[in-house]
Amino acid sequence: MNPDLSHANALALEQELAWFAAVLDLRFTHYFGSPDTQASTPDIRTLAPPDLSADNSGYARILHEHQFGFDERLVLILCLIPHLRPQALDIFFTQSQVTGRTYTEFGGWRGKAHNGFLPTAETAVFLLAGQDLQRRFSALQLFDEQHALLKKGILKLEHQASGEPFLNAVIAINTEYLHLCTHGQVQKPDYSMEFPAKLITSKLTWDDLVLSREVMEEIDHLHTWLRQGRQLVSRWGLERSIKPGYRSLFFGPPGTGKTLTATLLGASVGVDVYRIDLSMVVSKYIGETEKNLAGVFDQAQNKNWILFFDEADALFGKRTQTSNSNDRHANQEISYLLQRVEDFPGVVILASNIKANIDEAFARRFQSIIYFPLPDEVERLRLWQNLLANTQLLASDVDLPLLAEKYELSGGSLTNVARYAAIRASRLGREQINQADLLQGINKELLKEGRTL
């Protein structure tokens, strides 16, 4: 965390919190006051928000970038208060002397673990409109999916149950924007229950990726889309016919470079690649799988990310004949996933060992289907040479061309062999890897596949 950026945010937010407190006090004065008091109380919009036009804090940058006015700023600071000064919202716990419970018009929820007040869209509308129905209708626009607050992923609506009023949804600030407003920097999403995806990177480069010329041509096609997709669509007048997203299937045996290719594609164009953890996405409970996946897609919607689904057939498998409720539910999951993938404006890459396991409805919607075969003899030799590039660490009996010719293994398996050989040589107190070390490692990899030397 940069102390200077954090300090700038603190100064800006102190001003914004003081402004919010004045607006809140005026709204309650008007709401609970006598008719005479209400008539003499000025409108909340007479309380101008602080002038942050020359401010360089992260919070101010959000305001400047989206040209947020009074209404947006009030909603934004309202969502920040549970993180900054939660006691400032305790007044919403005020109970009616008539009903003995909190006021419905205040909205809000008490957290499951958090003892404070969590504002809902109803809370924001109450602050902005009071009992003025016309202003209430106007405030609803703030929670339209096309409004910058939601469209840009700054805020999100979290509905507690189906069938309840729309404004009953909790409004929460996106974690990335919370960090920008506090620490002054955007922090990439962390792997968690709410975000079952992991940012993947690699120290390897395109030189380390050994694939056939045909496969590289297919990858270059996807690479061109990542670099020039929008310009291509505009240049050839295809805006009305082509959706903005791109979907690709990588299939082939394990260890043939599917994950590394996705990682390198992202790195080459400065795009983050997130691998979806299917173990945390797929749930046996009805509706949970869709909810878990929606959390990833919602966060990625306005980001220039590549979403990478490894072992995708576990999630995007074939639909079955519906003989019971479980089959119907499974088919509904697949249909939902199909729709989310198709509507996603970014790049989605699905990886599978067996193409036939992927539902045909998905296959028809892929812009490219790329087969990653096991490397041939020439490619295996290149892989061996890349892995064991420092020949001074190899004994004189090491014969890489012979190993490449005799043993058909994937790049991932060869990496395991090199690691095993290095460990074995070190364990036996040698400074060099010999042929026996490599052969022993090869044998272990072959045994995994039911083969022997």
* pLDDT tens digit sequence for 249-268: 999 999 999 999 999 999 99
| DSSP state string for 248-302 | EEEESSTTSSHHHHHHHHHHHTT--EEEE-HHHH--SSTTHHHHHHHHHHHHHTT
The answer to whether the CB of 345 falls within 8 A of the CB of 357 is no
Same domain, 364 and 423: no
Q: Which two tokens stand for residue 195?
A: 């975000």
Same domain, 206 and 238: yes
As a whole number, the mean pLDDT across the chain is: 88
Q: What local confidence, expressed as pLDDT, does residue 193 receive?
A: 66
* pLDDT, average across residues 308-315: 79
Q: Name the domain boundary from 336, 355, 371.
A: 371
Please report, to the nearest 10 degrees, the dihedral formed by the alpha carbons of residues 106, 110, 114, 119 taken in order: -30
Cβ-count burial 38-76 (b if 16+ within 10 Å, e if not): eeeeeebeeeebbebeebebbbbbbbeebebeebbbbbb
| Contact partners, residue 139, CB within 8 Å, separation at least 6 | 71, 124, 125, 128, 129
Same domain, 13 and 149: yes
- Asked whether residue 187 is domain-assigned, the answer is no
Taking phi over 0 as left and psi of -120 to 50 as alpha, with beta for the rest, 332 belongs to alpha
Q: Name the more confident of 57 and 304.
A: 57
Q: What local confidence, expressed as pLDDT, does residue 327 receive?
A: 47
Q: What local confidence, expressed as pLDDT, does residue 319 receive?
A: 46
Q: Which two tokens stand for residue 307?
A: 């979403």
Same domain, 381 and 366: no
Give me the number of domains the chain comprises. Answer: 3
Cα gap 88→162, rounded to integer Å: 30
- Asked whether residue 167 is domain-assigned, the answer is yes
Report pTM. 0.74
Same domain, 367 and 382: no
Same domain, 296 and 268: yes
Q: Which two tokens stand for residue 216?
A: 């590289």
Q: Name the domain boundary from 371, 402, 434.
A: 371
Cα gap 189→298, rounded to integer Å: 12
Q: Name the more confident of 202 and 317.
A: 202
Same domain, 224 and 106: no
Q: What local confidence, expressed as pLDDT, does residue 37 receive?
A: 78
Burial class for 317, CB neighbours closer than 10 Å (0-12, 13-18, 19+): middle
What are the angstrom distances between the C-alpha of 435 and each of 83, 177, 414, 439, 442?
60, 55, 14, 6, 10
- Asked whether residue 192 is domain-assigned, the answer is no
Q: Which residue type, as a one-letter code, is found at position 329?
A: H
Q: Which two tokens stand for residue 304?
A: 């220039």
Cα gap 352→360, rounded to integer Å: 14
Same domain, 350 and 414: no
Cα gap 212→210, rounded to integer Å: 7
Q: Name the more confident of 318 and 73.
A: 73
What are the angstrom distances between the C-alpha of 238 and each of 241, 304, 340, 363?
5, 21, 22, 22
Domain with 161 in it? 3-182
| Contact partners, residue 362, CB within 8 Å, separation at least 6 | 247, 249, 316, 338, 341, 350
> Is the model's pLDDT at 364 over the cut of 80?
no
Same domain, 166 and 238: no
> Is the model's pLDDT at 285 over the cut of 80?
no
